[in-house]
């Protein structure tokens, strides 16, 4: 994949400012695009946009295809004539830098139900035709997802593996019975997806028109409690009662002494390979429609994956099992052609993973925070890079640069100071400078590092199940004040427009 020398910013849409308690695809998203353009950035990187489940994690979603309806902008319905501006509710919160997901859902869902009623009553023939065309075009995942979400409501939001046995096991009689009973709710969930994707593509089109490309994110695994696992259970390693026999995670590493127990079901790769990787082809195809470039999270799991027996308390007792990544990408290329993919190749990389990455010409990732661990050798120092990489000061899984520096031991600090020549203030800009001056084709900076925020702005702490994914911007004032400096670094190191 040929990437031009460029730079961009990492900010998930939920972290955008706004009056609805969570970022949306509304005017603040367009304002953020304008800020990026003014700073001569070419890329906006986000996390997965799926409907979040357990822990509100974008990597644990109810669907690998659907969108997170909490990102829907209410003001869009004013433009359709469904509401006046005075009828749009605001979300009042004491902490404007934190998303309270439970309260946001309580606040937003009733309004979205009213919006659906308005659509049913007021939609023009053109709007109805567009909705029906969307449903037909996306029927291969939308039917299952809308049914799944309606069933979750019917069963008090319990995971599907705790539903009544007949519908859990997808018995024909139960499927027919519930599809009739829940017909209106199924239509409601289809409508929400229609609006989500309509708003998203309008935003993406605007970003593209301003010279920005958007980097999306594909989690390798799907959640156990997802429409994918329920509707396509033959594609996962389940027993006869549809319990996982093996679950996903990673062995002990930088983040955790006992590894990470993710709990996602493992793919039945033999079955997937036998049917020509149809599910994966649809998944990648869906993502390349949504984004200009896609990052595959936990890329190494497509070469070999850490398989943990179901019921283990930690990830220690897993084992590596070979995955058919080479055959998968050969099939992708034959069907979809060249796809713009970034390989998240962090952690302990083995020659087979590097071969899979390099043979497909996928750029990998470099994390500057990892470069200054004086206790071990690493290949994250900028002078070791080659061009086909994306360098980050940190990712959504890392502490902020200010937080890292404040907690670093004296040896690590001294190594950074000696390497960078930095001995003053603004540690964040010293890191940004190192990223920008490197030969890596692309440099991506989390917005928290541009703003010199401390650990309170950390987005995720791997290995923990609560308190994550909540940080958001209150407003753009501080970011606007940094635009000129960001543009200066972008231009001086040849990454600008």
Give me the mean pLDDT over the 23-42 stretch: 98
Establish if 320 belongs to a structural domain: yes
Domain containing 91 equals 6-492
Residue 208 φ then ψ, to 5°: -60, -40
Q: How far apart are CA 114 and CA 111, in angstroms?
A: 5
- 112/186 Cα distance (integer angstroms): 14
| Helices and strands of the chain, counted as H and E runs | 19, 12
Instruction: With 0.85 as the threshold, say if the pTM is over it.
Output: yes
* Catalytic residue ranges: 297, 344, 397
Residue 1 is assigned to a structural domain of this protein: no
Q: Which two tokens stand for residue 320?
A: 């590596």
Q: Which two tokens stand for residue 395?
A: 């990712």
Residue 159 has pLDDT above 90, yes or no: yes
- pLDDT tens digit string along 37-61? 999 999 999 999 999 998 999 999 9
Sorting pLDDT into bands at 50, 70 and 90, what band is 92? confident
Distance CA 193, CA 149 (A): 12
In a domain, 497, yes or no: no
- The overall average pLDDT reported for the chain is 95
Tell me: pLDDT of 375 over 90: no
What is the pLDDT confidence band of residue 257, given thresholds at 50, 70 and 90? Answer: confident
What percentage of the chain reaches a pLDDT higher than 90?
A: 90
Is residue 384 domain-resident? yes
Select from 50, 62, 460 the least CA-distant residue to 264: 62
Note the Cα 463 to chain centre separation in Å: 17
The CATH number that applies at residue 484 is: 3.20.20.80
Q: What are the φ and ψ backbone dihedral angles of 309, each rounded to 5 degrees?
A: -55, 135
pLDDT of amino acid 422: 84
- pLDDT tens digits, one per residue of 271-306: 999 999 999 999 999 999 999 999 999 999 999 999
| The pLDDT of residue 255 is above 70 | no
Q: Which of 3-7, 118-122, 251-255, 404-408 has the lowest mean pLDDT?
A: 251-255
Residues of the chain with pLDDT > 70: what percent?
99
Into how many domains does the chain fold? 1
**pLDDT tens column, 59-74:** 999 999 999 999 999 9
pLDDT tops 80 at residue 19: yes
Q: Where are the alpha helices (DSSP H) in 172-226?
A: 172-181, 183-209
Q: What is the Cα–Cα distance from 142 to 261, expressed in whole angstroms?
A: 30
Q: What is the pLDDT of residue 260?
A: 87
Sheet containing strand 246-250, edge to edge, reads 260-265, 246-250, 304-309, 319-322
CA dist 297 and 317 (Å) reads 23
What does the DSSP assignment read for 240-284? Answer: TTS-BSEEEEE-S-SS-TT-EEEEEEPB-HHHHHHTTSHHHHHHH
Query: 380 in a domain, yes or no?
Result: yes
């Amino acid at each position: 994949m040929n990437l031009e020398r460029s730079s961009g910013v990492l900010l998930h849409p939920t972290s955008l400012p706004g009056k609805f308690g969570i970022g949306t695809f509304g005017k603040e998203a367009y304002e953020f695009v304008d800020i990026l353009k003014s700073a001569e950035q070419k890329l906006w990187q986000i996390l997965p946009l799926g409907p979040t489940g357990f822990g509100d994690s974008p990597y644990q979603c109810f669907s690998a295809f659907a969108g997170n309806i909490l990102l829907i902008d209410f003001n869009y319905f004013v433009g359709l004539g469904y509401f006046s501006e005075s009828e749009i509710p605001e979300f009042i919160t004491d902490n404007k830098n934190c998303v309270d997901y439970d309260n946001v859902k309580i606040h937003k869902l009733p309004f979205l139900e009213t919006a659906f009623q308005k659509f049913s009553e007021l939609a023009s023939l053109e709007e109805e035709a567009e909705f029906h065309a969307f449903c037909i075009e996306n029927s291969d995942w939308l039917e299952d997802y809308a049914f799944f979400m309606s069933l979750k409501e019917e069963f008090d939001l319990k995971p599907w593996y705790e539903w009544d046995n007949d519908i859990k096991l997808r018995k024909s009689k139960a499927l027919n019975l519930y599809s009739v009973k829940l017909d209106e709710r199924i239509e409601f969930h289809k409508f929400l997806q229609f609006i989500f994707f309509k708003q998203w593509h309008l935003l993406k089109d605007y970003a593209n028109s301003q010279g920005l490309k958007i980097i999306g994110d594909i989690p390798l695994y799907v959640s156990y409690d997802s429409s994918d696992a329920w509707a396509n259970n033959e594609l996962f390693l389940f027993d006869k009662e549809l319990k996982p026999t093996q679950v996903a995670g990673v062995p002990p590493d930088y983040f955790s002494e006992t590894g990470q127990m993710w709990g996602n079901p493992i793919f039945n790769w033999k079955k997937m390979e036998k049917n020509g990787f149809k599910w994966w082809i649809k998944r990648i195809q869906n993502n390349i429609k949504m984004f200009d470039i896609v990052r595959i999270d936990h890329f190494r799991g497509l070469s070999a994956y850490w398989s943990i027996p179901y019921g283990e308390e930690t990830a220690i007792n897993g084992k590596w099992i070979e995955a058919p990544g080479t055959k998968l990408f050969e099939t992708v290329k034959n069907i979809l052609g060249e796809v713009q993919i970034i390989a998240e190749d962090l952690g302990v990389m083995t020659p087979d993973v590097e071969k899979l990455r390099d043979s497909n010409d996928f750029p990998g990732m470099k994390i500057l925070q990892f470069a200054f661990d004086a206790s071990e050798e690493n290949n994250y120092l900028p002078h070791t890079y080659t061009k086909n990489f994306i360098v980050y000061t940190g990712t959504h899984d890392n502490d902020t640069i200010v937080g890292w520096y404040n907690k670093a031991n004296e040896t690590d600090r001294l190594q950074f100071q000696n390497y960078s020549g930095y001995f003053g203030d603004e540690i964040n800009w010293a890191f940004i400078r190192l990223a920008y001056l490197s030969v890596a084709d692309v440099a991506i900076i989390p917005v928290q590092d541009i703003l010199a925020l401390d650990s309170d702005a950390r987005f995720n702490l791997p290995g923990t199940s609560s308190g994550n994914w909540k940080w958001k911007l209150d407003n753009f004032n501080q970011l606007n004040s940094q635009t000129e400096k960001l543009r200066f670094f972008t231009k001086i190191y040849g990454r600008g427009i």
